[in-house]
Structure 1
């Protein structure tokens, strides 16, 4: 099944380059490209892509606001598209805000083509594009953000007791591993489960906690103190 992609970036050269890379692979098709946030919202509603590759720093409506509008005002009966945000730097307050608004992950603009394809596959499959090496830094930046940075997107307030009351012991294990940046396949290997079983449990976790995606689940787990916030080993790049 082909993954339908909408590209959003205010630079025509970047849009053309992304289109060339994505359309080169049979598993993806670019259904359109937008030059700003307003176009992105309108085209997402009209074209119904599976994934939106969203630049965050754009004049006028930013990618953060466009992400929020697409996900909160989605007019279709089917689920809204997954949103993968683009950034020049791996630590950017706009990217953090977009992820908190419901985006599924981020990708650096200078990423190689194979990494872009991998990110699109991961996001289209409902997982978060968060490399374990940067998960702790992202979480730290999330929790430092004021709750009102993204209009209309409240900061999660559930504490440890509410989470433990809502989830089974196995679901808590899955949540902690999600917060550590583990993929469904890795979680399945860690816990001796099937990948389908893990995916089902992640979906139940999101539903029971009232969250949109794995990124928000990871943030919530860290904010609730469900796992140590020790920095990852090795140098950051």
Structure 2
């Protein structure tokens, strides 16, 4: 009879280097905590210094390894600093979770001013692109890596948000698919979750008399299931970055209680 394998004979799981953006709260914080709980080293990148440091404290209090990098990821110098710190502190970057984002005001196109359009596109589409572009050379050097994006139901349909957010999240959906095709032969996988309504504390500053909110609210109210939790979204992110999802690339995974199936 074959003797049982002792714990000493089992190779320990490598501790990965993970960047999670928007991890000062909500889905990002839940994802950072989940990665850390399985032994990964996590860099929290966020504009909210207090929230980011609180996430770090939650991780280190349980013996995990985490650090915070504060700044606006829509600025190239901040992106460069985040990547440089992850490489310097952790020796490389194995996983990037592009989670940070903001909502629009649910404005229809004719109600969307330049400021709303530019802010949402810069944070929700340009910033993830900048960080991905900065991380890719490090992943290409080692021939491996996972990119996971937090998209949205608004990246799958036209009636889940305003014009700016819908355009940005459709852009993320396209970027994810392009990255998956471009880099699959270099060992880099790219996937996206598409959350349905989730309890994260994000509010929408919309005018009640505007056309956009009236249309979108009626559509969402008629079709969504229950409200999801940040932990449920984070579980999907961590799974997509795991070896269990090794053959999954270019996927858009709705995490929405069946909303996308309606």
With normalisation by structure 1, the TM-score equals 0.41
With normalisation by structure 2, the TM-score equals 0.38
Structure with the greater relative contact order (CA < 8 A, sep ≥ 6): 1 or 2? 2
* Structure (1 or 2) with the greater strand fraction: 2
CA radius of gyration, larger in:
2
